[in-house]
A = this chain, B = another copy of it.
């Protein structure tokens, strides 16, 4: 399911930002902001520095409930653009939708002027496994806090807070919100989700799910065993899993089949 993570990373977290032009005081200011935010909302906040693929995670009172820490507070610096400690606890369906939303959001803000980049945030409602193994519903927001002198996406803030309604919806309720005008764009991710795997790949994955070996799949579809193997490999790569069984599980949890 990490094809989108790869796409996001390759486009936005590996930009050639001229780090000499970036002011370290701005990073410190945004870290203080994230820390302060968490001290208010109690939950969790992450600053990602796209110039160096690094993130700073702060978890407050809800961190323990979220299963992130046993301590009353948590601070972590991670050499990655991803807060894996959180992503690992996200419901698999929500993770893929969150990544899709982020992808659409980054694509959207990337096209804006530097100043406009700061006005939009992406919001969603996601499920995270709590310390007792149940899913709780969180409000999530992602926004650009600073752009580079050249106007590129630089410092990103991601906030998690307990949602005041614990009812899970039919999707993560993905939105892009303009903080200045109040404009709210309702995202439809289902199209994009549909397009992760090709129709042929889905056909093959369904046959794998039924327990059919490559030879039989090749016969059923009237293609060569070599072609089936190539498709298998593409599917495994797209879903960032280790083998065909894991691919079936990932695609099922993502409701791609």
Q: Decide: A33 and B40 in contact? CB cutoff 8 A.
A: yes
The residue that A43 contacts in the complex, of B123, B136, B179, with Cβ under 8 A, is B179
Q: Decide: B33 and A181 in contact? CB cutoff 8 A.
A: no
Interface string of A132-175 (1 = CB under 8 A from B): 00001000000101000000000001010010111000000101
Q: Counting CB contacts under 8 A, is A231 at the interface?
A: no
Q: Decide: A119 and B164 in contact? CB cutoff 8 A.
A: no
Interface of chain A residues 22 through 59 with chain B (CB within 8 A): 32-33, 36-37, 39-43
Residues A164 and B175 in contact in the complex (CB < 8 Å), given A180-B61, A182-B65:
yes
* A237, B113: Cα distance in complex, Å: 54
Q: Is the interface of A mostly helix, strand, loop or mixed?
A: mixed
Number of chain A interface residues as a range? 35 or more
Q: Decide: B37 and A136 in contact? CB cutoff 8 A.
A: no
The residue that A182 contacts in the complex, of B145, B159, B162, B173, with Cβ under 8 A, is B162
Interfacial chain B residues near A177, Cβ < 8 Å: 162, 164
Q: Shortest Cβ distance from A122 into chain B, in angstroms? A: 10
The residue that A179 contacts in the complex, of B32, B157, B162, with Cβ under 8 A, is B162
Q: Shortest Cβ distance from A188 into chain B, in angstroms? A: 15
Interfacial chain B residues near A92, Cβ < 8 Å: none
Q: Counting CB contacts under 8 A, is A62 at the interface?
A: yes
Interfacial chain B residues near A143, Cβ < 8 Å: 40
Q: Shortest Cβ distance from A20 into chain B, in angstroms? A: 26
**Besides the contacts A61-B119, A62-B182, A166-B184, what 10 more A-B pairs have beta carbons closer than 8 Å?**
A33-B39, A36-B37, A40-B159, A42-B179, A42-B180, A62-B180, A65-B182, A123-B164, A164-B173, A165-B173
- Where the two chains meet, the residues of A that have a C-beta atom closer than 8 Å to any C-beta of B are 32-33, 36-37, 39-43, 60-62, 64-65, 119, 121, 123, 130, 136, 143, 145, 157, 159, 162, 164-166, 173, 175, 177, 179-182, 184
